[in-house]
């Protein structure tokens, strides 16, 4: 069973898909003209096909949102489940972020530790919980390293840590106009001005993702934000599944780590 979408959410989905209201009358009116019957028949055929396609899109959307809700419920109710710290879904929709947020709200799922990322170019939505101790510790250590580097170089301006940085990314529309909007959450962000709302330098710490996925995400920070992000640093570390929080195991496998700018 998929999620039972509320009327407001259905209406939102209809408008986003460019569909008329599901309560609209799709039947044509047979006017008393010579070419009326032929045009009415063609119009009805086209409208029926369009209506079937609209229902098909809504049904698929309904199933996708249902999967997202079930995963979110599991992640919120099982915060120590390392197997499902991150769940990935395919969701191609111009209003994917709004629909996901509205669906979770309608289902009564609210959590300060549940985050949503969406890459419109790939149609990929990621649910993930707050960072692990490894992410947090690496972020703190890198912040100290960065500050020490700034202090030792008089030519580098002062930097400001931007915790909880959220990067807005957009899809490049075929016509050159504005495309679908997404968002990404790096593990760290820094800028050189206190009043700058964005981190211009971002940090991505990964241990479960393949190296190529980490590199692709760092590129997406820069290209997806249309250059708003100036640089991205990736740290791909060894992941000991048996002891995921032990730094000694990571230090013993430094040759398996990767750092890229």
Exposed, middle or buried: residue 170 (CB in 10 Å: 0-12, 13-18, 19+)? middle
What value does the mean pLDDT take over residues 176-201?
Answer: 83
Find which of 92-96, 151-155, 169-173, 236-240 is predicted with most confidence, using mean pLDDT: 92-96
What value does the mean pLDDT take over residues 161-187?
Answer: 81
Q: How far apart are the C-alpha atoms of 193 and 70, rounded to whole Å?
A: 41
Averaged pLDDT of the chain: 75
Summarised one tens digit per residue, pLDDT across range 98-151 is 999 999 998 999 888 888 999 998 899 999 887 677 777 888 888 998 888 888
Find which of 1-15, 40-54, 76-90, 241-255 is predicted with most confidence, using mean pLDDT: 76-90
Exposed, middle or buried: residue 83 (CB in 10 Å: 0-12, 13-18, 19+)? exposed
> What is the rounded (10 degree) CA torsion for 103, 106, 109, 111?
80
Which residue, 238, 168, 161, is CA-closest to 203?
Answer: 161
Whether pTM > 0.75 for this model: the answer is no
39 versus 193: the higher-pLDDT residue is 193
What value does the mean pLDDT take over residues 236-261?
Answer: 72
**pLDDT above 80 (res 71):** yes
CA angle 167, 170, 173 (to 5 degrees): 175
pLDDT of 119 = 92
């Amino acid at each position: 069973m998929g999620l039972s979408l509320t009327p407001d959410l259905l209406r939102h989905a209809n408008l986003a898909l460019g569909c008329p209201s599901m309560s609209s009358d799709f039947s044509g009116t047979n006017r008393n003209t010579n070419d009326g019957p032929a045009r009415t028949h063609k119009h009805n055929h086209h409208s029926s096909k369009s209506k079937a396609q609209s229902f098909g899109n809504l049904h698929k959307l309904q199933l996708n949102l249902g999967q997202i809700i079930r995963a979110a419920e599991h992640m919120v109710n099982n915060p120590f489940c390392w197997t499902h710290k991150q769940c990935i879904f395919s969701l191609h929709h111009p209003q994917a972020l709004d629909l996901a947020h509205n669906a979770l709200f309608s289902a009564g799922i609210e959590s300060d530790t549940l985050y949503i990322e969406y890459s419109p170019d790939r149609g990929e939505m990621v649910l993930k919980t707050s960072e692990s101790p490894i992410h947090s510790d690496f972020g703190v250590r890198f912040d100290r390293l960065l500050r020490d580097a700034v202090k030792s170089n008089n030519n580098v301006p002062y930097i400001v840590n931007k915790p909880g940085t959220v990067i807005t990314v957009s899809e490049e529309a075929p016509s050159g106009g504005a495309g679908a909007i997404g968002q990404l959450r790096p593990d760290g962000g820094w800028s050189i001005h206190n009043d700058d709302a964005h981190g211009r330098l971002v940090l991505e710490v990964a241990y479960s993702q393949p190296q190529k996925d980490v590199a692709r995400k760092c590129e997406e920070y820069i290209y997806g934000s249309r250059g708003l992000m100036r640089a991205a640093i990736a740290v791909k570390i060894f992941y000991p599944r048996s002891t995921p929080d032990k730094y000694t195991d990571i230090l013993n496998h430094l040759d398996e780590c990767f750092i890229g700018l």
